[in-house]
A and B are shown apart, each in its own frame.
Chain A
Amino acid sequence: MKFQRDHVSALREGALASAPLLIGIVPWGIVAGVAMVSAGLTQVQAVAMSVLVFAGSAQLAVLPLLIAKAPLWVMCATALVVNLRYVIYSAVLAPHFEHLSRPWRALLSYITVDGIFALFVGKYGPDEAKPHKHWFFLGGSLVMWTGWQLASWVGIFAGELIPREWSLEFSATLALIAVLMPLLFDRAAVCAALAAGGVALIAAKWPLNVGLLAAIAAGVVVGLAVARFARPNGGEGAR
């Protein structure tokens, strides 16, 4: 059964390649676990969120809004915007996975994370006909999924042992800063972030937390404007 062995070796290769990424995901998962419980979720709800949502930055982004009792639609809209990067990943990954069955495509969609996307795209070109590449993706993603869930559960169940005056919930904000950094890939992205931060400060007291959405919109407009301005030949060649 040569076929089977190739699956297993691609799975193992993906798992090994992703292992170094665990160093980043474990502290982040613990922080998310602590933050979910200190935002008022029960332990069961926190576990459900970590398994069903499985999107660390969206989870951490929504928790301050949950504490501030923001409306449901504002929280979901915020999660959507933070997760928009996955739409790009989805578009890039789609041609790689289009030959697979629907359950496979659903599984690989659910389990997509930033680090494995980067590894996978770095390893396989868009038209590369490697029949086992989805096993590589699955192997890496399973390692990340398991690491994230275990780390979250440590935070959820052991977080209450940590004294409140340590303000461990602040580490959620620090984790977001670390996650933000790779997204500041050019001057336009930096300007987008600065504009969003400024408007968020001004609009923080607007009702229903819509100030947050206004800040994001302002950031996107500034980012697009700077990107266009920085490129004298206009929109062509935008990549």
Chain B
Amino acid sequence: MTGEAWYPWALIAGMALVAFFTRAVFILPGSHLRLPATAERVLRYAPAAALMAIIVPELAFTQNAVSISMENPRLVAGLVAFALAAATRSILATIVGGMVVLMLVRSLAG
């Protein structure tokens, strides 16, 4: 790992550029640029797709294998969190509720 000390810094620099670019792309030039309709439609669905593509493997994998069962604590907690997020729209309720269910399922299994 010693030779890779630069790696997190490169990631931080790259992400900082990406984060600034996406926010500044229309504001900073300051001219009357318009977003083409096709681009706008693609941009509407990409963030939801990206977040879901990250969430699903985090919930479904246990020890490097897919586990779709009520005995997978992360999956059960995640499904409850989806329901809580839909019902309450609250980040706090989603996090707290999901963590409580994770603990419950674990203690029941253990």
Contact = CB atoms under 8 A, between A and B. Distances in A.
Interface of A: 23-25, 27-28, 31, 40-42, 45, 48-49, 52-55, 57-59, 61-62, 64, 66, 72, 75-76, 78-91, 93-95, 97-98, 100, 102, 105-106, 108-110, 112, 166-168, 170-171, 173-184, 188-189, 192-201, 204, 212, 215-216, 218-220, 223-224, 227, 235, 238
Interface residues of B, number: 68
B108 to A, nearest CB: 15
Contacts of B90: 23-24, 178
A181 B89 contact: yes
A180 B51 contact: yes
Given A79-B19, A87-B25, A212-B53, A224 B12 contact: no
B47 to A, nearest CB: 5
17 contacts: A28-B91, A58-B19, A61-B50, A81-B46, A112-B27, A168-B99, A174-B95, A176-B55, A180-B48, A181-B86, A181-B89, A196-B50, A196-B52, A197-B53, A216-B46, A219-B52, A220-B49
A238 to B, nearest CB: 6
Contacts of A195: 49
B46 A84 contact: yes
B30 A224 contact: no
B12 A52 contact: yes
Contacts of B98: 170-171, 174, 177
A63 to B, nearest CB: 9
A179 B27 contact: no
A64 B61 CA distance: 13
